[in-house]
Amino acid sequence: MPLLLEIKDLQTAFDTAQGRINAVNGVSLEVNSGETMGIVGESGCGKTMLALSIMRLIPANGKIINGEIFFSGMDLLKISDEEMRLKRGSEIAMVFQEPMTSLNPVFRIGEQIAEAIRLHQHLPAKQAMELSVEQLREVGIPDPQKRAMDYPHNFSGGMRQRVMIAMAMSCHPRLMLADEPTTALDVTIQAQILDLISGLKQKNKMAVVLITHDLGVVAEAAQKVAVMYAGEIVESAAVEKIFDNPLHPYTQGLLESVPARCVRSLQRGEYLKTIPGSVPGLYDFVQGCRFHDRCSLAVEDCARIKPSLSEVEPGHFVSCWKYSAG
């Protein structure tokens, strides 16, 4: 599959009263056309900020201080604001984490989808509204003609998420960034949303970057996965390799902490496994590997020198001295 998105050494920083912090710190990854890349990690590890950096929608006190973001060979960091605005929605779309705060409460659902269609396809209002109804039908909203006239508060959480997906798909983008699309939804609705995204991906031949903290979602929906920790990618590979042979101690800890995976092996009186310690704060300077103070395999070099992301086997990259040294 041809390469669609290529990120090289991306750094996104914020200037605060306490000093500069790096929310994304040297991230590199590749996404091919037609595939789903899962970005997984604990809350606060920089997953959402990575997506916002790709969209060039970072808050006013933040800026990209280094790196390149190539989309179909074009560096998104070198085009004008107007060119980037036209690419958003038409070629790259994002489904935001909380649909209730992303949808405007005072406008009808159909109007909000139609606005995106008018902006990018330059269609008259009536035709744009007709297409917005079609998009609602496409994502499984019952009675879309009627529901297009409703407001966001008239929809359940799962239906609002479908509306957000309809809005993202309204101009048939080549890349969708889905930020925690199943958060706060029950298991049945989660499965429906994942099936919907997968079906739309196949139908429209688009790529998906799926941001989540849920390893089960990654296992079900993604072909490749990148594991983030404290603003950095610590491991990336095909999903099968990550689940069958996790190499980074953090990835191993995440998988061992999943109840469905480890409950079967527990003996009476044993507890579920956890990762000791906590993620370093944004203001905490950590020399060397940022995971070293939580890692049972840490050696002297781990606290002094940051390991590079190395390819230890074809398509399997790990940032760990255990493998860099060998």
Say how many domains are in the chain. 2
For 159-198, the pLDDT digits (tens) are 999 999 999 999 899 999 999 998 878 888 889 999 999 9
CATH number at residue 241: 3.40.50.300
**What's the mean pLDDT in 290-306?**
88
Q: Is 242 exposed, middle or buried (0-12, 13-18, 19+ CB in 10 A)?
A: buried
Only one residue has tokens 């992301």, namely: 309
Q: Which amino acid is at 168?
A: A
What mean pLDDT value characterizes the chain? Answer: 90
Q: Which domain holds residue 159?
A: 102-172
Q: What is d(CA 189, CA 192) in angstroms, rounded to the nearest whole number?
A: 5
The pTM of this model reads 0.91
**What's the mean pLDDT in 292-310?**
89
For 70-107, the pLDDT digits (tens) are 999 999 999 999 999 999 988 999 998 877 788 999 99
Do 220 and 87 share a structural domain?
yes
With beta carbons less than 8 A apart as the criterion, state whether 292 and 303 touch: yes
Do 163 and 249 share a structural domain?
no
Where a domain ends, among 261, 277, 293?
A: 277
Sheet with 36-40, edge to edge strand ranges: 92-95, 175-179, 207-212, 36-40, 224-229, 232-238, 316-318, 310-313
Please give the distance of CA 138 from its chain centroid, rounded to a whole number. Answer: 23
Q: What is d(CA 72, CA 91) in angstroms, rounded to the nearest whole number?
A: 10
Q: Does the residue 321 lie in any domain?
A: no
